[in-house]
Amino acid sequence: MLWLYDDKIRETLFLRAHGHPVPETFISFNEEEARRFLEEAIYPLITKTHMGASASGVVSLPNRAAALALLKGIFRPQSLMEKAMAKYHYMPRLEKGDLLLARKLRYQDACPRYIYAQEFIKADSDWRITTLGTDLLSVFVRRNRPDDFRASGSGLWEMVEPEDLPAEACDLALEISNRHGFTSMAYDFMRGPKGWVIGEISMTFVLNDVYTTTLFRRTPAGYARQAPIPIGVMHLSALMEARERGTAIPHWPMT
């Protein structure tokens, strides 16, 4: 869980390797390979930094010219000043998801120069589905920011009724978490042209009331709404379940 945290490149390659559905995604660390892709790509595209939350570092590339301009900026030669500054850590304030700034948001040089480009899935919202144990989910809809294509970090969420749940996506989230021993994992689901896809996953998320009041438990008859549960209780229960299954939780001797 920690190995995948806050690294979209790792997340995408992990999900793809295990056959879990993700949007069509191009990842390259080579300028010429990236240029060939962008010359032939269908626009708009979404490009992301491999780190960043609340849609920081997520921008839209409306056309080939914008994509090639970004590529030039990513792979441009560094000046002596930039090489000197690269030795220091700083955290710029990101208001509009500036990609080049977000590349330096945290952990300088954590990843070589790269481009991460993803198909654009037109929607006014996504589904935040969070597993909190073997059969417990938090599920709500996140609406896009006003006049924006991004839902992450918008704070515009809507509760749903059991009959409105996307059961296929909920089942998939539980299947992935249980298969890989994730005690909790937040999934951003979107419905693409080929069905449900996972935009991102994260083991951590803001601990606000939305996760304690949007709970559903999978039963033989379907998903049933659950009364609010404190977030700490849910996490502890998930850890205990994992320990009982013998997955994910190491045993350290007490001292």
pLDDT at 56: 65
Q: What share of the chain is helix, strand, coil (3-state, %, to 5)?
A: 30, 25, 45
pLDDT at 151: 64
Q: Which residues contact 162 (CB under 8 A, 6 or more apart)?
A: 216, 222, 223, 224, 225
pLDDT at 193: 86
Each residue of 185-209: pLDDT tens digit? Answer: 999 999 988 899 999 999 877 667 8
CB atoms within 10 A of CB 181: 13
| C-alpha 65, offset from chain centre | 27
State the pTM of this model: 0.81
Tell me the domains of the chain and their CATH numbers. 24-119 (3.30.1490.20), 125-245 (3.30.470.20)
pLDDT at 147: 75
pLDDT at 125: 84
Could you say which residues of the chain have pLDDT below 50? 89-97, 99, 101-110, 248-255
